[in-house]
Structures are given as C-alpha cells and as structure tokens.
Structure 1
C-alpha cells in the first residue's frame, strides 16, 4: 500500500513539473507604419539561447518554456530593435497579439548635386562631405539641427564634418588627405545604404571608436537589405529633375544565401544657372553566404558615377554686364551649343569582402577588406601662350584701363567676349 502511494506521489510530481514547463510566447510582428505584417523578423530569447523567425504572416511562437520572466529581442534590418519583458506562467502560452516595431531613421537625401552651386576649386572645402548628423536619430537636438538648420549653416557642436567618422561595412572611408566623409561614393543608393548605425561623440561601437563629431556605419550587405522588390520614380524641381530606382533583396534563403541589387539614375538639365546640370547613375550588387550558424561571408560592389557642371563666382561688374546675378563664367558657346568648361566627372567603384564569425554569445570576429579605384576630377580651360579666355577676366571689363578688343570682329560697338576652344560668345558693352 505504501509503495502504491509513493508511486502516485512521484507521478503527480512529474506531471506537475511537466505542466510547469508547458508555458510559451506567441505573437505577430507588425510595422508601426500601416500595421503591415513583417516576415523574417528575428525573435530571440537570449537567456535561453532560443531564436525564431516570423513567418509570412508575421507570426512567431516559443513553446515549452519554463515559468518565469524573459527579455524578448525583436530585430530586423530597417527597423529599430525592440526589447520586451514577458512573464510566462504555468500551463499558459502568453499571447502578445500585435508587436509593433518602429522603422529606423532614414538618412536625409542630400545629393551631390545639391552642392554644385557651392563648388570650389579647393578639395579641402569639398561640401559633398556630409557629417553623420544628416540622418535622423533618437536625439531630438540632432533631428532639429539636421533638418531645420541644415548642415550648410550649422555644425553640430561646432565641429566640421571632417571630425565625423564614416564607415562602410565596418571600414572607415574618410578621405585620407582631408578627413571628409565620401558620401557621394554611394549617393543615389538609398535602398542599399539606408540601414545605418549612428553614434554621437567619442563613443565605442562594434566597429570602432568615433570621432569628436560622431560616427556612422553604413550596413550595405545583402542580408541587411530589406526583402522584396521595389521600384520608385520621382520628379522634382530642385537640382535634379528626375529620379528612378529599382531594388531587390532576397532575404536569407533556406540554403543560407542572400542576394541584393539596386540600380538608379538621377537626371537634371540646366536650371536657373546656365551650365549647372547633373547626370548621375548608381549600381549596387551584393551576395552573402551563411555557413552553419556562426560564419558569414559577403561580397559587395557599389558605385555612383556622376557628371555635373559647376558654377563659378564672379564680380558685380560682370553680373551687371550680363544683366543677371546668376551669370556663370564657366559657360560659353561652342558650335552654337552651350557648354560648361568646369565639369566634375567621378566614377569610383568600391569592392568589399566581409567575414563574420560569431565565436560565442558575447564574442564576434569581424574581418573586412576593400578596394576603391576609378577617377574623380574636374575639367578646365587651358590657354597655353594665349590670352585668358574667361569671360569675366578683369582686363576685358569696361572699368579696366587695359581693355582688349577681340581682333577679327567687325561691329559698331565695343565687344566683350568669352572664348572656349576657339568659339566666342559675344555681348555688348553699354
């Protein structure tokens, strides 16, 4: 009899224990924007070493969890990470219903063409370099400073953009000579480079210790690009008139591969300043392979070839003669066609190889190498052993006591001119 009672008590204890471990967590992950369900979101309970991915309907579930409190981490590219504290009871699956995650801050689209008007011959003042504060973040002051004041008039904490470190896939890409960030190298690749990590000031991160002006790491790998096919076409009235982009991200496939590509173009004709135009193309391709659960290898190629006409500052006298304060002395006529003598032409492809090894839960090894090559330069007039052909050259101005008249032109009025490659654009002095 005693043996029977003992067996009953042991069976009850085992049954109680199994019920105590029969808890769970389930839910659906959606975006804050439109409550769209999100697939392939990583849901992780780090304390138990458990990971799940949301299905095509955004659902996930953890079963047979011991009773207790757990921190559940939700993470996916293009969205802010979310940590939730969830309490699991006995014999109960905790239903979180809809878990809302917030899209991460997108970098402000300030393209190379926006700064063509401020072009300078000095590479040290190249205003294409945009500091990391030009992307939205959780910092209210940086948000207002970046979008309201504009970096053209405001430097965060008074520091120039050369003091902000810019990384691409964990490699620092600031110019070796000037220190400025090369944002124009991947301008136009919005879909491929929108996943960024931003740090303010001297703060340590997984990829380096930032400069006094902050730090930005652009994650441009196939696994970081949001899954799906996207096409966008836009028209505007600023420096470029037309933009089109086509992008695709495969997400991580069952065989461990991830693929992504993006191509785009931005085109702009002459605006209110003669000769200032903008023609740009961009391309991006990346492939990434997951080996086992701990090793990743990624190959990335990207570039943003562009051509743009630059504006040159002039004098009040030249503006008065031309009758327009938007006179551009870089511009002249050749064979009846308006041309700009000062054209910036760039094409600097970047090839990168990244390797990641998750050695343990708290240790990760990152190794990366990159190759950057191509061209980046301006065209300019030359006048070897000849007269200066620039239209606003001071000796051609009416107020100069050494005015030169162009030989071979018959007219009843005095001529000022701008010559380029033997062609002359004529104007009349009063």
Structure 2
C-alpha cells in the first residue's frame, strides 16, 4: 500500500513539473534595407499579456507555459507591423533574423509640414512657429498648419509660448519670451524626425504638458534609422538651393552609435527683392550603452542663419511695384544691400543619461547654449 502511494505521489509530482515547464520564442529583429539590428521593438503574442522590447542587440526572448497556436506580433513606429504564426509545443522556437520593412506611407506623411522661413525670420510677432508645432497626425491641426500658416493661424488663439518644445527631454523655449527658436536646429530635417507630440494637457513622458501641448524631439542615434541619406532641392522662395547629408552608424558592437549631419542653404536673392539667404547647419551626436538599460549621449548642434528681411506692403505699393517689392534694400557700390539683416548662430551642446527598465524610467540631461 505504501509503495502504491509513493508511486502515485511521484507520478503527480512529475506531471506537475511537466506542466510547469516553460518554453521560449526568440529571434533578432533587423532593418530590411540596412540589415542593422533594431532596438526597442515591441514583441508579443496576440491574446497574451506578456510583452517585451528588443535589447541593443535587437534580440528578444518570450517565455510561455501554455501550448497552442498563436500570432507573434512585431511592431516599431516607422515600420509596418509583422505578424508571424507560431505553434507552441514542448520545445523552444528560434526564429532567427526577422526583417521589418519601413512604412513608406508613413514616410510620405510624417514631418512634411515645415516652418516657412518667413515665419522664422520676419518680425518677432511672426516667430510663433506654430506650423511645425502643429505638424502632427491630427487631421485638423495638419490642415490648419498647412493652409493657414501664412495667415498666422493660432489654435484656440494661444501664442506659441504656451506650446513646449524639448530636445532629448530638455526644454528649448527661450527664457526671454517663452517661444522656441527653431533656427537653432534649422536645416537638420534628417535628425529631428523622431518627434513625440502630446496635444493639450494630455499626459507626456517628458513634461506635465502645456495649453498648446508639447513636442519632444529624440536625437538619440538608436532611435533613428541607420544608413546614409543625401538630398538636394531647388526653390524659388526664400532660398534657391539646398544640400543635406546625414550618416547614422546604427548600434555597433552593442556598445555605441553615432550620427553626423550637415546642410547648406543659400540664395543671392529670394523671391522678394533684396532678400539674401546664407545658412549652414552642422550636427553630431554619439550614444554609448553601458548595458541594455543604461546609456549616455552627447550632442553638438551649430546652426547659422543669415537673411535679408522683407516688409509688408500696402495695396497702393502692390499696384505700383508688384508683390516682389521690398523697401529694405538698395544698391551700394553696384551691389545689392539689405538694410535689415538677421543673423542667428547659437551653438547648442547636450549631455544626456537614459535609464529604461520594466518598472522605472529616468532621463537626466544638461544643456549649454551660447
């Protein structure tokens, strides 16, 4: 009798241990074009509560004890969602390299609205720069910024000082008027794409919020697509030509990543008579990973912008001289000279520490601007 009892106990213990056995699904997520690993990619089984993100090596490993057929979903903001069917049995599954394809539709729609140089560089009342603050996926704000930017459209009538702008979670609104000076990083379109916008007083990861919401621009190389981007454009408005070049190394050897970027915009004369344009921007940042949870980053931005300004004209002057007339310029020694030029060059240096874990997140930063 005792032997039978011991046998039954042993049998149920073995069954219980087998029921408690866990198995895992693992893999490495990479970019389909550059083949570089992707960090902070969300991975989870549909219908299950367990979720994780890939580490600096692009790796993930989900552990489960329930058998069955599931759909593994892999998603990252700028990429199309990937759904992979998996059958969980009494063995671990290694999916190897998983490649995500960049969402082209998102690339076309995001950040297409930019602040016009008229809004940036004309009279101070026009430096609200609301257009870029409103460049979000919200249909109303998007159309309002694009269609009414030149008409000084203001959401709810508020000034832009009530909308907060952050670089790597550090506030960039000026102390003397509360407004952001977008010229401090103008021309660096490739590295300011990763923007997180919170509308109104909704919750935000970096601040308590403002009446007009807040925008946080994440400059960390690990948060941007790796690779090289070259672009050029021709315009007949504020500048006649623009060249931009950017290189992102991606996360190398699971330890560091860096970005270098530069742009040049120029015009002897813009659309309005006597409005010269001379601008260049240089950018460099490096991110170092202590481990999967802790990283340091250092960023330097030098953006110089010099431009001859124009003035509003009356209907009478418009009829006599046309819409290109500018009373601020004339000829001196055979050369065009503008009596009102604006030159902005305020180098910016950032030092940041980032800690991210399942239950705690810490961002600490130090900024210096001349």
Give the CA deviation at 1:298: 1.0
Deviations along 1:156-213, one digit per CA (max 9) or x if unpaired, are 2332322211111111111222222222211110111110000100122121022111
Instruction: Tell me what 2:130 maps to.
Output: 130
Q: Secondary structure at the match of 1:304?
A: strand
Instruction: Tell me what 2:311 maps to.
Output: 312
Instruction: Tell me what 2:367 maps to.
Output: 370
Deviations along 1:383-430, one digit per CA (max 9) or x if unpaired, are xxxxxxxxxxxxxxxxxxxxxxxxxxxxxxxxxxxxxxxxxxxxxxxx
Taking the aligned partners of 2:221 and 2:100, their CA distance within structure 1 comes to 26
Gap regions ≥5 residues in structure 2: none
Taking the aligned partners of 1:75 and 1:185, their CA distance within structure 2 comes to 33
Distance 1:4 1:170, change over 3 A: closer
Question: In the alignment, is the contact (CA less than 8 A) between 2:30 and 2:38 conserved in 1?
Answer: no
Taking the aligned partners of 1:133 and 1:101, their CA distance within structure 2 comes to 25
Is the counterpart of residue 326 in structure 1 residue 328 in structure 2?
no
Give the CA deviation at 1:267: 1.6
Aligned 1:171-250 pairs, distance under 5 A: 171-250=170-249
Question: In the alignment, is the contact (CA less than 8 A) between 2:247 and 2:261 conserved in 1?
Answer: yes
Count of equivalent residues: 358
Instruction: Tell me what 1:338 maps to.
Output: 336
Distance 1:91 1:291, change over 3 A: same
Taking the aligned partners of 2:367 and 2:26, their CA distance within structure 1 comes to 43
Give the CA deviation at 1:113: 2.4
Deviations along 1:103-139, one digit per CA (max 9) or x if unpaired, are 47632453452437x822xx3x0336235543232x2
Give the CA deviation at 1:11: 9.6
TM-score by length of 1: 0.69
Taking the aligned partners of 2:154 and 2:316, their CA distance within structure 1 comes to 34
The structure having more radius of gyration, on CA atoms, is 1
Instruction: Tell me what 1:417 maps to.
Output: none
Instruction: Tell me what 1:257 maps to.
Output: 256
Deviations along 1:134-160, one digit per CA (max 9) or x if unpaired, are 3232x2322332334436442223323
The Cα RMSD (Å) is 4.1
TM-score by length of 2: 0.79
Distance 1:282 1:319, change over 3 A: same
Instruction: Tell me what 2:25 maps to.
Output: 24
Instruction: Tell me what 1:161 maps to.
Output: 160
Distance 1:346 1:362, change over 3 A: same
Taking the aligned partners of 1:194 and 1:269, their CA distance within structure 2 comes to 29
Give the CA deviation at 1:264: 0.7
